[in-house]
Structure 1
Amino acid sequence: MHKLLENAKGWGFRPHIQDYLPFPDSGALDRTASPKLAEKADQHLMTESPVPLGFPRHRWLLLFGDVMLIWVAVALSIGFRISFSWRTLSDYSLEPAFTLIMYPLTLYIFDLYNIQRVFRSWETSLRSAVAVGLGTLLVVLVFYMAPVGPYGRGVMALEAILAWYFLNVWRFLYGILFQKSGQRKPVLIIGAGSCGKRICKLLKSPLSPYEIRGFIDDNPVPIDSSEDPDIIGGTGQIADLTGKAAVDTVILAIPRNRPEHLVHSILEARLKGIQVLDMADVYETLTGRIPIGSIGDQWLLFTHGFYLLRADYIQKLKRLTDFIASGLILLAMSPIIGLTFLAIRLESPGPVFYTQQRVGKDRKLFTIYKFRSMRFQAEESGAQWAKEKDPRVTRVGRILRLTHIDEIPQIWNIFKGEMSLVGPRPERPEFVDVLEKQLPYYFVRHTVRPG
């Protein structure tokens, strides 16, 4: 279920873990002796917060367009199947209202309000099809279990098809309009290391409001990628470099261990009217998530939110929400579960479900469930790290992973109270033992239910 709520794997770049450790002399990995572990640690440090902490302004426009088009799809489906009249629409007012809630919710779950996905047309089409399908199943489930009025299957089917088509066209047009609307704000990035490259990659998106004019870094080594801006100078001359580049804003992408001369140079720039933005703040504003690997220990010590662990009523409300939502989703997804069960059986021998021990809240072990996406006994020789284009993955498994249908059985874990709809990724105990020794504060994630 974590993959439905988190978009942390598509970045295609792995930083050096040393760039992110709060203390340079502690927890350093021997990358030569353990390259796979280092890669796994990098993955954790570069993972965004699974909980979107905000809803940036560009997403509100996307959401507004979605709601309007979903309403049009509902009105057209009722009109084509029943009658084009205001009286008919008023008679069927409750069902469309519920649809206008469920469709955006499922689109949000499948990460379709992420600006990075707007231009991935094929992926957007596939994800939106699954999201609309799930939303339709939830609407059907509610109105067939507790009917408050007739709402024909033909209306729902046409509504889903029209909504899927309109949503995809809207995202295509939205991307084009966003590209052509207004000028981007020119900025310089202070720090050409892993954090700098990461924010650079985000800002190069066609939907980014910023234009990168260059990097400021004391390391004269050229940038690895020819597509990235050049290093235009060192950190001791920030104010002068902003004047030469004709920018009034810089993004600080050095999260910790900032030398004294850098702090002095930044302060001098601010006194001259230069706006200094923190990389993590920019990232959160654009994506609604916090880049875990780009925050320092001070952020962790002084951030708000720890009081939620002591608020008993909030914990009970969260558990009640998980219980009700997971139960409804299991019922709504039962047709997809049945088809997936059959597809796995027909393609390859072995069990339909893949089970594995994971570490949960308070370090308690639990059994996690997934649809099997690899060939049977793929780990006969022991635990192996998953990788891109893994040859062990079956043809059906590739589709399951792409659509995240392989995660659906984890909803049972949520229903049982072992996981939550929102939470950190649970890991295997053999990996946790090592990661806790290598990654500072890794143990903190075990204070809440995984998701």
Structure 2
Amino acid sequence: MKLNKDIRIRILYILVLYIIYSLLLDKYNYVAKYLTNFIFILFIFVKFIFGQLDFYAERFRYKDVFITLGIDMIFSVMLYAFWKQLNIFYIYLIIFIFQIIFRKIVCSIYMKKQNVLIFGSNHIKNNVQEDIINTLDYNYVGYISNNKSRATKYLIGNYSQMEEIISKKEIDVLVIVKDIKSPSFKKYLKRIFDLKINGLKIINYEEFNEDIQKKIDINQINEEWLLQSNGFDILSNEMQKNIKRGMDIILALTLMVFLSPLALITAIIIKIESKGPVIFKQTRIGENMKPFRVYKFRSMRMHDPKKHSRYTLDNDARVTKFGKFMRKTRIDELPQLWNILKGTMSFIGPRPEWDILAKDYARKINHYNLRHLIKPGITGWAQVMFPYGENLEDAKKKLEYDLYYLKHQDFILDVLIVMKTAKAVLLGKGK
């Protein structure tokens, strides 16, 4: 995953914060190696949960100041309860001041957004406009097009005004979107490349959209794209595969030991609440299109699947009361640790799809089976970036995120997925 500006700022912020934290604790002789490091990791995770690792230029708000203050106060009280020393509050006051100054500097000075103009209108249906507005790297000026039939408020001119707009708006990045409905598109496209504007970066929409939305538009995929695209290291790097598999085994064994009491209590409640087996088994499609049995704690009442929707709907009557809780907290996924040990699943990867739905999707969605090139996961990029799918269109959108993960998988992206998953569990956003 490319270290974009957002990630670089977060890494710098965490490193400097850790240095200040360590020096202050060391000064007052409060360093308890494992305890203080664990508290710092917890501190950073809580800040992530409450959005305090986001440094968008427009986001220096008093709301962020109060949230930061609240988090710092909670952690200072925690450490005071352990050491009974008032200096702890002094330490966290300094940390609080640093956090506010850092945010102010980043938001008002460091951030220099590039002005982006989009050439063409075929990007509108993908809602990329709102995503550009919320990025650190780009200031969305608008788009130019001769197609006014579906114009939005961001339309600022037509193709003939291109040179004037580029000069007047001081455009840094020009994004080319194919507009096949415009007969004059190619003529103006040639003029773009004939322009000699210093510093103007011209990129195609597919590349730009992938960077902004963190997904791959399946409408742009063809055999030529697959051959020419960079990435997909997870498919060919054996060392990367082995490391991922090793981590899966270690984590699965560790969690099975520590969570076994929770699993036992869950099994008892399921058995008491409704008739049927404790473990739900279903055939899913795994790596290289191989079917396998997935295991979950049963969260639904026994029913005839032929008489109900293939998808779990909001307020689905089939879901038990405890089943709703399990789905929110992902407790129902615990038996999948056995799938990980068996090697049919990983912790992170595309969601394993029911074989019946997978066959249907493969017929109706182009390149759907690309997601089966790697092991499915308990959680994944699509799961944390898109809500639970309930129809064919949702399956298409989730596939775009799965393909992005397939192309860009690395340690940083996996850590981000784990943190987003934990955030969803803690805030009860599971389903």
Work out whether the TM-score is over 0.5. Answer: yes
Residue identity in the other structure for 2:10: L
One of 189, 201, 210 as aligned partner of 1:266: 189
Q: Measure, in 2, the Cα distance between the counterparts of 1:244 and 1:431.
A: 52
Q: Provide Cα deviations, 1:312-340, integer angstroms capped at 9, x if missing partner.
A: 45443432232123222333444655665
User: Counterpart of 2:8?
Assistant: 60
Pair 1:426-2:355 in alignment: no
> Per-residue deviation at 1:345?
6.4
Q: Measure, in 2, the Cα distance between the counterparts of 1:339 and 1:73.
A: 40
| Superposition pairs of residues 239-318 of structure 1, within 5 angstroms | 239-243=163-167, 245-254=169-178, 261-270=184-193, 271-273=195-197, 274-285=200-211, 289-293=214-218, 295-297=220-222, 298-305=224-231, 309-318=235-244
Give the structure, 1 or 2, with the largest relative contact order (CA under 8 Å, sep 6 or more): 1
Q: CA contact under 8 A between 1:185 and 1:209: conserved in structure 2?
A: yes
Deviates further, 423-432 or 307-316: 307-316
User: Counterpart of 2:286?
Assistant: 360
Residue identity in the other structure for 2:347: L
% identical aligned pairs: 24
Query: Cα RMSD (Å) of the superposition?
Result: 5.3
| Superposition pairs of residues 117-136 of structure 1, within 5 angstroms | none
User: Counterpart of 1:447?
Assistant: 373
> Per-residue deviation at 1:422?
2.9
Q: Measure, in 2, the Cα distance between the counterparts of 1:85 and 1:171.
A: 21
Closer/same/farther in 2, CA of residues 417 and 343 from structure 1, 3 Å limit = same
One of 117, 127, 131 as aligned partner of 1:188: 117
Other structure's SS at 1:331 match: helix
Q: CA contact under 8 A between 1:62 and 1:174: conserved in structure 2?
A: no
How many residue pairs match? The answer is: 351
Pair 1:229-2:169 in alignment: no
> Per-residue deviation at 1:442?
2.1
Q: Measure, in 2, the Cα distance between the counterparts of 1:74 and 1:346.
A: 50
Q: Provide Cα deviations, 1:205-237, integer angstroms capped at 9, x if missing partner.
A: 2x54433232333431244xxxx6332344565
Closer/same/farther in 2, CA of residues 60 and 449 from structure 1, 3 Å limit = same
User: Counterpart of 1:411?
Assistant: 337
Q: CA contact under 8 A between 1:65 and 1:170: conserved in structure 2?
A: no
Closer/same/farther in 2, CA of residues 173 and 440 from structure 1, 3 Å limit = farther
| Superposition pairs of residues 163-174 of structure 1, within 5 angstroms | none
Q: CA contact under 8 A between 2:206 and 2:220: conserved in structure 1?
A: yes
Closer/same/farther in 2, CA of residues 346 and 103 from structure 1, 3 Å limit = farther
Q: Measure, in 2, the Cα distance between the counterparts of 1:100 and 1:265.
A: 55
Pair 1:326-2:252 in alignment: yes
Q: CA contact under 8 A between 1:189 and 1:196: conserved in structure 2?
A: no
Q: Provide Cα deviations, 1:240-285, integer angstroms capped at 9, x if missing partner.
A: 443455534223345x979885355334224232422344444554
Pair 1:210-2:133 in alignment: no
Q: Measure, in 1, the Cα distance between the counterparts of 2:275 and 2:286.
A: 30
Other structure's SS at 1:251 match: strand
Residue identity in the other structure for 1:93: K
> Per-residue deviation at 1:365?
1.3
Deviates further, 174-183 or 421-430: 174-183
Q: CA contact under 8 A between 2:5 and 2:137: conserved in structure 1?
A: no
Closer/same/farther in 2, CA of residues 398 and 183 from structure 1, 3 Å limit = farther
Q: Measure, in 2, the Cα distance between the counterparts of 1:448 and 1:110.
A: 32
> Per-residue deviation at 1:363?
1.7
Gaps of 5+ in 1: 1-52, 130-151, 157-161
Pair 1:199-2:128 in alignment: yes
Deviates further, 404-413 or 92-101: 92-101
Q: CA contact under 8 A between 1:190 and 1:251: conserved in structure 2?
A: yes
Q: CA contact under 8 A between 2:55 and 2:107: conserved in structure 1?
A: no
Closer/same/farther in 2, CA of residues 284 and 395 from structure 1, 3 Å limit = farther
TM-score by length of 2: 0.60
> Per-residue deviation at 1:436?
1.7
Closer/same/farther in 2, CA of residues 245 and 446 from structure 1, 3 Å limit = same
> Per-residue deviation at 1:364?
1.6
Closer/same/farther in 2, CA of residues 180 and 418 from structure 1, 3 Å limit = same
> Per-residue deviation at 1:199?
1.8
Q: CA contact under 8 A between 2:174 and 2:201: conserved in structure 1?
A: yes
Pair 1:220-2:143 in alignment: no
| Superposition pairs of residues 18-167 of structure 1, within 5 angstroms | 53-66=1-14, 85-86=28-29, 89=31, 92-93=32-33, 96=36
Other structure's SS at 2:116 match: strand
Q: CA contact under 8 A between 1:189 and 1:252: conserved in structure 2?
A: yes
> Per-residue deviation at 1:417?
0.5
Q: Measure, in 2, the Cα distance between the counterparts of 1:361 and 1:247.
A: 45
Q: Measure, in 2, the Cα distance between the counterparts of 1:412 and 1:171.
A: 42
Q: CA contact under 8 A between 1:249 and 1:275: conserved in structure 2?
A: yes
